[in-house]
Chains A and B, each alone.
Chain A
Amino acid sequence: MTWLSITIAGILTYFTRMTMIALVRRDLLGEKIKAVLAYVPSAVFPAIIFPAIFINDYGAYIEMNDPKIFGALVAIIVGYFSRNVIATIFSGLLSYWIIIFIFLS
């Protein structure tokens, strides 16, 4: 039963990936829609970023002084100026660790 569910979930996921690339002709999308699609990264990724920072493992909002907010801010500043992915991720993690291991321990 679980195997069947996984297979169906996999087929569904594959269709989400394939439909727009292989089945829908690009001409069907008008110029206006194409202009809006330029915003896709900005319109999708914050839906992954925000809950991962502001909502904890138990589904509750975090406090304003949570170390994750500080880590995210450091990552934004470092990322903005360095334009470097590794520096962004690492500075965020490092500042988060400094707070939880040094200040909160």
Chain B
Amino acid sequence: MLSKKQLFSRGMLDIAPHMLSVIPFGIICGAIGVDLGFNPYLVYAMSIIIFGGASQIVFLQLLSGGASSLVAVTSVGVINSRHLLYGAVLSEYLEKLSFIKKLLISYVVVDQGFAESNKFFKKNKTEQYLHYHLIGTGITMWVCWQIATLAGIILGSFVPEELGLKFAIPLTFIAIVVQDLKKLDHVIVMLVCGISSLLFFEAPFKSYILISPVIALFVAALLLRLKK
């Protein structure tokens, strides 16, 4: 049985490699916000209030491009709706927590944290304080995101644009799913999701990010039925 502290550190360790892409991305996000002419305090406040990587950039880009607040807010909601799926998966492991703890822990659920903690949870179902792993991944992500966006706001885009560091974002997610390429059913689900995201990329409010997982999960349900 691991202690709370051990689980927390394990979470920090498991998400740490992803900071290789999260930190440059955070710097870029902060710098873009200021470049677009927004108040630096406002750009930074988003990292605390929204705390959602790509959705923060999309929000500012839409507003500066002349879109209405309603469109910008809706887009953030749609982009971040994927957390509903993460929550549904994680709820199995967080069931026993008090309502207040659930409310607090929810704030730090992010893509990479969900992915790494979910992998850990699947292998260590019997641990009593599992949620400390999720707190470890979430807090690491939160602290790094705050520092990185703040650095981008204050120092501007000191990461040279020619390096194309935005490319590190898909690479982080490749690292997350790559082991599942061993399983044919997962490969099919991934391809369905990926191809759908390209086909529906122009759909309003960035809704491809919601439409493609729904289609892919539907295919997953069909595959499960075939397997029986």
Contacts and interface: CB of A to CB of B under 8 A. Distances in A.
The prevalent SS among residues of A at the interface is helix
A102 interface: no
Interface string B168-181: 11111111111111
Nearest to A27: B95
B201 A18 contact: no
B174 A39 contact: no
A50 B198 contact: yes
A13 B83 contact: yes
A10 B221 CA distance: 32
Interface string B54-80: 110001000100000100110011001
Contact of A46 (B72, B102, B191): B191
Contacts of A39: 185-186, 189, 216-217, 220
A83 B95 CA distance: 30
Contact of A76 (B45, B73, B178): B178
B148 to A, nearest CB: 16
Contacts of B21: 89
Given A6-B49, A9-B72, A89-B17, A17 B106 contact: yes
A16 B185 CA distance: 28
25 contacts: A5-B69, A5-B73, A6-B49, A7-B49, A9-B55, A12-B76, A17-B86, A20-B90, A21-B91, A36-B224, A38-B89, A41-B118, A42-B180, A42-B193, A44-B193, A46-B193, A46-B212, A47-B212, A50-B195, A52-B167, A79-B178, A80-B179, A89-B21, A93-B165, A97-B164
Interface of A: 1-10, 12-14, 16-22, 24, 26, 29, 32, 34-55, 59, 61, 68, 71-72, 75-76, 79-80, 83-86, 88-90, 92-93, 96-97, 100
User: 7 tightest CB-CB pairs across the interface, nearest first?
Assistant: A20-B87, A10-B49, A46-B194, A85-B17, A43-B216, A50-B194, A18-B106
Given A43-B217, A46-B193, A59-B201, A80 B178 contact: yes
A75 B20 CA distance: 14
Contacts of A38: 89
A47 B179 contact: no
Contacts of B38: 2
B42 A3 contact: yes
Contact of A42 (B80, B87, B190): B190
A19 B92 contact: no
B175 to A, nearest CB: 4
